[in-house]
Structure 1
Amino acid sequence: MMRNRDTISEHYIREELQKYDIPIAVRVVEEIDSTNEALKRMARQGLKEDFLLIAGKQSYGRGTKGRSFYSPESTGIYMSILLHPKADALQSMRLTIMAAVAQARAIERLKGEAIQIKWPNDIWLHGKKTSGILTEIIGVYENGQVSGVIVGIGINVYEPRQGFPKPVEKIAGALYGPDEWQENLKNDLVVGLLKKFFAYYRQLPEDTFFAEYKKRCFVIGKRIWILPVPEKIKKKSDSLPTEQILKDLPEEAEVLDLDKQYRLYVRYADGRCGFLSHQEISIKLV
């Protein structure tokens, strides 16, 4: 049994980013509650510079929709980037798309395998989710410009030796097996991701990554389930009208296209067509 010696080096990442003129402060810690939450605290305490925080383990890693993100020691990359773009809230949320494309390209370069994106921002390999992205706006000024944005990225680099927890074991995957560690791989992945991300970021708000995203968005042409918003799900009871019960069930649809606002254009089972901008979807297996 080989011990995973693929450790994250603050010095290496800082030096490499300086070579590519990426002006961002870097800190690597062994363990933290959540890299996103830590950067929020630092911002509230007056942090004004762009900042990259990476942890070897998260005790309370967070995903989208209020879910937890499994972040065990040594097997993944758990990082958050605090940025101060001269952009409004809508433009800032495109940082999520930029991060997904940058990550897909960086992973593909290292692995030599095609990387897909499940709308809107999950990285998929071999039919499994290997990474998630959580972008949060800190605040908005009166003129509509954001005061800061945090882009959180969690990557399952190596499969945990004990496997993934039951709630996610059917969907979660990793880039490599538990004994396939490669020295310096995490460092190279972080640097490669950030090089591509900041190349896009320098051109914000220009949309230079749309074609690349659409090429990798594998749900186009697929049948999907559109899931109800969790807090609106209600238990079936005699007091609920049939229309409400049906509204709270997943809706079946076919994805026809993706528009320049990164919305899915879908056709529902009853023939209606419309756009999805923030809903959660599940792939329908047929």
Structure 2
Amino acid sequence: MSTKSQVLTLLMKKKLTYISGEEMAQQLSLSRTAIWKAINELRKEGHHISSSRNKGYCYDNSDILSAEGIRLALDSKTPTLSITVLNSSESTMKDAKLAAMNGEPDNTLIVADIQEAPKGRFGRPFFSKAGSGIYMSLLLRPNQNFEEMAQYTVITAVAIARAMDNFSKIQTEIKWVNDIYINGKKVCGILSEAMSDVESGQISTVIIGMGINFSVKQDEFPEELRKKASSLFPDKDPTITRNELIGAIWNQFYNILHQLPKQAFLEEYRQKSFVLGKTVSFTQAGIDYEGMATSITDHGELVVTLNDQTEKVLSSGEISLNRINTTT
């Protein structure tokens, strides 16, 4: 760990509490000069660090993305993550794919302050704003069967919803299969992709990506998105940092991933769905359909009962919901 990283970690642990330069030097086995240089570098990066001749240094509330801040927010039961934080990225999904090809290990997390060319399902663009969002992708090497792939998106949706509910005290909803909504507006999109091993026929790599509107003010969205999109903190200052939310999401994700029974999270996913019981329209194989969303299978598929009472089982990779009748 670099000197700067050690200093930042110690300051964050003592958040809002002063610690003298001498004490820091002793705890980290560093010189006072090394401490002073590291603090100056951190301030240049935007970290708010107060100083007092009599008290020392104090880390103020700073919403700067950092690997150190994310690690401090992770539970002891969460696996050790290999974390890279970028100022900007064309796409963290692309970064994670490159990491996979370069042999990076399981549980590699890539986080960016802004994405220059963010894409969601079916290549749809979404709004990205520096300092106000979370754009990240996690690389996993699960060696599982393909039918288990959809569950990663479902698990991630439940994990994000839990984390947001706990911090904001606002109840989230999930739009099948990969969007998180608050008060009828989208605040997060999730994208999962898999790579297979030809010989074993199993999934060798899974990449889970997400874009979260964290503190984008409502009037900062493009005009065409203001009625459709929002953020976790659209009209007030955040009560948490982005690092804390990121840590909470992955704590919940790994907790669900390792819990027993394995399907327990699906009931929570169903309860949070605002699609079930509503009339939906969709296009499949070039044909338009409309029907009632009646259930979600154990593999995360949406079952729609058409007007003639026949059923369509929809996979997330096959279709996109065109319309949900919220008055039904």
Deviations along 1:63-109, one digit per CA (max 9) or x if unpaired, are 00111222210111111000011312221331111000000000000
Q: Are 2:86 and 1:29 aligned?
A: yes
**Partner SS state of residue 181, structure 2:** strand
Amino acid of the structure 1 residue aligned with 2:313: F
Match runs of 1:201-220 below 5 Å:
201-203=257-259, 206-220=262-276
User: Per the alignment, do residues 187 and 251 of structure 1 end up closer, same or farther by CA in structure 2, a change over 3 Å counting?
Assistant: same
1:214-233 alignment runs, 5 A limit: 214-227=270-283, 232=286
TM-score normalised by the chain length of structure 1: 0.84
Trace 1:31-70 onto structure 2 (pairs within 5 A): 31-70=88-127
Could you tell me which residue of structure 1 aligns to residue 290 of structure 2? 252
The amino acid across from 1:43 in the alignment is A
Indicate the percent of aligned positions where both proteins have the same amino acid: 31
| 1:85 paired to 2:142 | yes
Is 1:284 paired with 2:325?
yes
Change in 2 beyond 3 A, CA 1:139/1:57: same
Which shifted more, 206-215 or 52-61? 206-215
Does residue 115 of structure 1 match 2:172? yes
Tell me, in whole angstroms, the C-alpha distance in 2 between the residues paired with 1:161 and 1:171. Answer: 10
- In the alignment, does 2:301 pair up with 1:263? yes
- Encode CA deviations 1:185-218: one digit per residue, 9 max, x unaligned: 2111111111110112235993231111111111
Given the superposition, is the C-alpha separation of residues 28 and 166 from structure 1 closer, same or farther in structure 2, using an over 3 Å criterion? same
Question: What is the TM-score when the length of structure 2 is the normalising length?
Answer: 0.74
Measured after TM superposition, the shift of residue 162 of structure 1 is 5.0
- 2:155 corresponds to which residue? 98
- Partners of 1:167 and 1:205 lie apart in 2 by 43
Displacement, 1:277? 2.1
Q: Among residues 191, 194, 199, which one is paired with 2:250 in the alignment?
A: 194
CA contact (8 A) 1:118 1:219 kept: yes
Q: Deviations along 1:154-207, whole A, 9 cap, x unmatched? A: 11111247522345333111111255233x421111111111101122359932
In structure 1, distance between residues paired with 2:159 and 2:114: 23
Is 1:168 paired with 2:222? no
1:103-134: per-residue Cα shift (whole Å, max 9, x none)?
00000000112111011121010000110100
Q: Helix, strand or coil: the match of 1:28?
A: strand
SS at the partner of 2:150? helix
Query: What CA distance in whole angstroms lies between the structure 2 residues aligned with 1:60 and 1:207?
Result: 35
Match of 1:150? 207
Distance between the aligned counterparts of 1:78 and 1:21, measured in 2? Answer: 20
Structure ranking higher on relative contact order (CA contacts 8 Å, 6+ apart)? 1
Equivalent residues of 2:78, 2:251 under 8 A apart: no
SS at match of 1:79: strand
SS of residue paired to 2:304:
strand
CA distance in 2, matches of 1:161, 1:251: 34
Give 1 or 2 for the bigger CA radius of gyration.
2
Distance 2:99 2:248 in 1: 26
Superposed CA RMSD: 2.2
Write the distance in 1 (CA, Å) between the matches of 2:232 and 2:74: 23
Higher helix share: 2
Which consecutive unaligned segments of at least 5 residues does structure 1 have? 233-246
Cα offset, 1:44, TM superposition: 1.5
Cα offset, 1:21, TM superposition: 4.2
Give the whole-Å Cα distance in 2 for the aligned partners of 1:6 and 1:227.
Answer: 42
Q: Name stretches of at least 5 consecutive residues in structure 2 with no aligned partner.
A: 1-60
3-state secondary structure, aligned to 1:252:
strand
Matched positions, count: 264
